[in-house]
Amino acid sequence: MNRRWTEADVADQTGRTVLVTGANSGLGLRTAEVLAGRGARVLLACRSAERGAAALARVSSVASGPAPELVSLDLADLSSVRKAATAVRALTGDALDVLVNNAGVMATAKAKTADGFDLQFGTNHLGHAALTWLLMPALRGGTAARVVTVSSLAAVGARIRLDDPNFEHRWYNTAAAYGQSKLANQAFALELDRRLRAAGSPVLSVAAHPGYTTTGLETNTATSYRNPVVRSLILGGARLGDLLIAQDVAQGTLPQLYAATASGVEGGDYYGPDRLFNARGCPTKVRTLAAARNPATGSALWELTAGLTNVTPDPQ
């Protein structure tokens, strides 16, 4: 791999249709902009209609191919996930080439989704897993289709508590909850790859992480806390980290752009920055975590997710 791979290396995407979750800001918005600028038809999946409309206008201004379109999606509400999947299948005629599972919430105060799940586990993992399964018929109808699931460095050292994923029987720890959700993203991507290979499917499941990137999630995290002291501490820590370590959004988006578009990508691959312990730099293939690679964990998470979401896994 060329360690200096940049946005300029993104191949022509003419004729390809891409769905990006969380496309209203940060990594998702940049991903949508770059792919639309290379000729792809981009569907922006956003929770906020207002922010989605602003993102749509921004992506439209750089699109070199079909006009981008907005899809309403709230990953913290499984009824919204089902409606979004139905809308995407109709819009694409069951021909989707790339799904980028990018959206997420980070280190929020304790809260629940519309379906009663921990907000971070429910949004970051359950919502995306359900969406992926529901869109699998469209991905099978695509050309050289890929599912790119975005994990995080926060998965390092995390643990998935299959017996209590929603913190119903243990003390809630915001960092532990976030780490669990991002480890689940990685484990799901690898288990999906195993299932796709076993089914003989040409669809690829890969993962990526942005390293330490200034995405705006820190601000959203801070606003989830009522205590002004906690909010100030979070914002102060984020600013210090941004100053000392963080890279900008354009650089942080490169791993998922590589995973979504580069030649030579294989199912089960994981991409992240190449420098400073994978915190920043150009995209490179990195090693998945042992906990995520464990087939027993992947299979158990797959079954747990199916039971919690009441969505039939695909492939079965």
Catalytic residue annotation = 178
* Cα separation, 32 vs 255, whole angstroms: 14
Q: Which of 219, 194, 27, 22 is nearest to 123 (CA)?
A: 22
The strand ranges marked E within 39-187 are 41-46, 69-72, 98-101, 146-150
Long-range contacts of 232-236, Cβ-Cβ distance < 8 Å, separation of 24 or more: 234/107
Helix (H) or strand (E) holding 104: none
Report whether 155 contacts 179 (CB < 8 A): yes
Q: Which two tokens stand for residue 125?
A: 């993992």
* Cα separation, 32 vs 20, whole angstroms: 7
Q: Which two tokens stand for residue 60?
A: 């439209």
Report whether 19 contacts 32 (CB < 8 A): no
- Terminal-to-terminal C-alpha distance of the chain: 33
> Would you give the DSSP letter of residue 269?
-
Distances (CA, A) of 45 to 3, 88, 288: 31, 9, 27
**Cα pseudo-dihedral 244, 249, 250, 256, rounded to 10:** 110
**Cα pseudo-dihedral 132, 135, 136, 141, rounded to 10:** -140
Q: Which of 181, 194, 81, 201 is nearest to 139 (CA)?
A: 201
